[in-house]
């Protein structure tokens, strides 16, 4: 029996997918890259983005046609809004919430599901028994990169976002379990580990003093890195500027294993738009955080998220976002054209920015980003950087990887045994979003 799984949306769904695969494979199913030959096909949906939901409908339409020719069970989970859930109930054989993942084998064996009413009630209690899901051992996608969830849900209620309605309120995973999972990964040779949460820097706040906070969690992992004498890079995503403290940045600066790369979502560079988005932070607060990063970790790269064409965004407000882009000089920005999602507050508002205007603003901002990204990449030329090799490059004879700051690097080599290892590369040239260099050595880590 074979299975296939499609994960859409953010890294949280990708991480959840690793635990889903583990449960299915423990049932005796074998993975296949070819969904045409699978007996069990699942998809982790993302109601946060319309294009991701469109992909779900496209997939399930095709899969249901296949049922006329062979036995096939389909399931869906992930971030699902009630409006999408009602439609999925008629299309998929099995629908479950992540907290119920341990019960998936029973659902498949019975080839049935709870009633629509019962399922809706289950989705209302988003994080009840979430610890049972966290206790599932994941089937990691690679032998050198791993995602470690540290919380689920969100309390921020940004007006454009549906996550609080798809994953519920914030719940923090026990720190002892997080640290143990990180330790186990390092012992097994993993080189890149990312802590995941909708708002990682609010970790522990829901426990009212019964759990450590995010800076202390990072400190404990940093100390773990010193004690284990193993080379790895620890990342986290995504923090919210509202909860970002100097202490977090100070801890990152203190420990070698805490990667010097920070993803700090901006969303907009205009004060009124930020208020409209219910971000609960202003540009000055954001500016102070970036200044602290530059002061304490000058070598750190800075990534962000930006939305263009949010409801009511005029030309002046978009220009303010351009000014912010040019002030903070991001290494990478994930720029999205706004689309209203049912469940989010902004869905009630008229989407008054034409799509062609959104596309133009996306293009302009991308061109601005290219300038700053390339300038930084040019500054890397003639310098040597530690690189985690990830895969073969698209061009024959090359390997590709990432620096600690997550800058894409490619270098001439056909030695596939380097994939998943650290190497040193001297940068020889730079382009908009990547650099190229010469392999120096694959020396051992020295603390």
The whole-angstrom separation of Cα 130 and Cα 348 is: 31
Give the mean pLDDT of 362-373.
97
Q: Is the dihedral of CA 262, 267, 148, 154 positive or negative?
A: positive
Q: Which of 355, 379, 403 is the last residue of a domain?
A: 379
CATH number of the domain bearing residue 235 = 3.80.30.20
Neighbour count for residue 218 (Cβ, 10 Å): 26
Average pLDDT over residues 32-53: 85
DSSP helix, strand, coil percent of the chain (3-state; round to 5): 40, 20, 35
| pLDDT over 90, % of the chain | 59
Whether 446 is in a domain gets the answer no
Burial class (CB in 10 A: 0-12, 13-18, 19+), 11: middle
Residue 116 has pLDDT above 50, yes or no: no
pLDDT at 110: 67
For residue 118, name the pLDDT band (cuts at 50, 70, 90). very low
Q: What's the confidence (pLDDT) of residue 445? A: 40
Same domain, 179 and 324: yes
Written as six digits, the tokens of 88 are 């999925």
In a domain, 163, yes or no: yes
Q: What is the pLDDT of residues 317-363, one digit of tens each?
A: 999 999 999 999 999 999 999 988 777 788 889 999 999 999 999 99
Which is it for the CA torsion 223, 228, 232, 237, positive or negative? Answer: negative
Which pair of tokens denotes residue 195? 């802590």
Q: Hey, what are 225's tokens?
A: 């890195």
- Give the contacts of 73 (CB within 8 A, at least 6 positions apart): 39, 40, 41, 93, 94, 108, 111
Check if the beta carbon of residue 78 is closer than 8 Å to that of residue 8: yes
Q: How many CB atoms lie within 10 A of CB 426?
A: 15
- More confident position, 35 or 9: 35
Whether 228 is covered by a domain: the verdict is yes
User: Do 26 and 117 fall into the same domain?
Assistant: yes
Give the pLDDT mean for 68-87: 83
Q: Are 92 and 146 contained in the same domain?
A: no
Q: What pLDDT score does 122 carry?
A: 45
Structural domain boundaries, residue 45: 2-130
Tell me whether residue 447 is in a domain: no
pLDDT over 70 (residue 194): yes
CATH no. for residue 14?
A: 3.40.50.12160
Domain membership of residue 217 (yes or no) is yes
Domain identity same for 191 and 119:
no
- pLDDT band for 230, please (50, 70, 90 cuts): confident
Shared-domain flag, residues 237 and 313? yes
- Do 209 and 95 have their domain in common? no
398 with 288, same domain?
no
Per-residue pLDDT tens for 427-445? 999 999 999 999 997 554 4
Rounded to whole angstroms, what are the CA distances from 220 to 110, 213, 225, 228, 234? 44, 11, 9, 12, 12
Task: Count Cα atoms within 13 angstroms, Cβ side, for 109.
Answer: 8
pTM of the entire predicted model: 0.80
What tokens does 359 get?
Answer: 């596309």
Q: Are residues 120 and 251 in the same domain?
A: no
| Chosen domain end from 361, 379, 397 | 379
Beta strands in 242-347 (DSSP E): 261-263, 301-308, 332-337
- pLDDT confidence bin for 119, thresholds 50/70/90: very low
Pair of tokens at residue 42: 């699942």
Residue at which a domain ends, from 75, 96, 130 = 130
Domain count of the fold of the chain: 3
Regarding whether 176 and 266 lie in a shared domain, the answer is yes
Mean pLDDT for 65-81 is 85
pLDDT tens, residue by residue, 247-275: 999 999 999 999 999 999 999 999 999 99
Instruction: Find the CATH number of the domain harbouring 403.
Output: 2.40.50.140
249 and 158 in a common domain: yes
Residue 397 and residue 356 share a domain: no
Do residues 356 and 404 both lie within one domain?
A: no
């Amino acid at each position: 029996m074979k299975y296939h799984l499609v994960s859409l949306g953010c890294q949280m769904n990708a991480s959840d997918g690793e635990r889903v695969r583990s449960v299915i494979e423990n049932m005796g199913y074998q993975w296949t890259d070819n969904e045409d030959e699978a007996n069990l096909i699942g998809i982790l949906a993302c109601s946060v983005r319309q294009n991701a939901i469109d992909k779900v409908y496209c997939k399930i339409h095709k899969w249901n046609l296949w049922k006329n020719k062979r036995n096939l069970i389909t399931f869906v989970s992930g971030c699902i809004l009630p409006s999408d859930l009602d439609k999925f109930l008629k299309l998929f054989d099995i629908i479950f919430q992540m907290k119920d993942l341990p019960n998936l084998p029973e659902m498949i064996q019975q080839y049935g599901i709870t009633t629509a009413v019962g399922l809706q009630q289950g989705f209302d209690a988003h994080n009840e028994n979430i610890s049972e899901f966290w206790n599932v051992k994941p089937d990691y996608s690679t032998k050198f990169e791993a995602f470690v969830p540290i919380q689920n849900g969100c309390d921020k209620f940004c007006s454009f976002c549906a996550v609080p309605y798809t994953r519920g309120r914030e719940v923090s995973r026990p720190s002892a379990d997080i640290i143990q999972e990180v330790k186990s990964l390092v012992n097994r040779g993993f080189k890149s580990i990312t802590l995941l949460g909708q708002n990682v820097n609010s970790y522990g706040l829901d426990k009212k003093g019964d759990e450590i906070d995010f800076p202390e969690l990072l400190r404990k992992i940093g100390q773990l890195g010193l004690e284990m004498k193993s080379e790895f890079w620890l990342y986290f995503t995504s923090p919210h500027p509202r909860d970002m403290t100097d202490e977090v940045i100070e801890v990152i600066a203190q420990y070698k294993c805490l990667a010097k790369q920070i993803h700090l979502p901006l969303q907009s560079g205009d004060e009124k738009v930020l208020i409209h988005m219910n971000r609960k932070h202003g540009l000055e607060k954001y500016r102070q955080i970036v200044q602290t990063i530059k002061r304490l970790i000058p070598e750190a790269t800075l990534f962000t998220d930006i939305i263009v064409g949010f409801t009511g965004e005029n030309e002046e407000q978009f220009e303010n976002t351009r000014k912010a882009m040019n002030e903070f000089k991001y290494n990478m920005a994930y720029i999205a054209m706004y689309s209203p999602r049912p469940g989010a507050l902004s869905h009630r508002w008229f989407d008054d920015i034409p799509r062609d205007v959104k596309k133009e603003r996306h293009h302009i901002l991308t061109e601005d980003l290219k300038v700053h990204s390339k300038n930084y990449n040019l500054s890397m030329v003639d310098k040597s950087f530690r690189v985690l090799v990830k895969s073969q490059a698209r061009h024959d004879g090359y390997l590709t990887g990432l620096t600690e700051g997550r800058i894409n690097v490619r270098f001439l080599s056909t030695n596939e045994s380097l994939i998943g290892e650290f190497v040193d590369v001297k940068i020889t040239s730079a382009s908009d979003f990547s650099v190229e260099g010469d392999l120096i050595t694959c020396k051992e880590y020295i603390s």
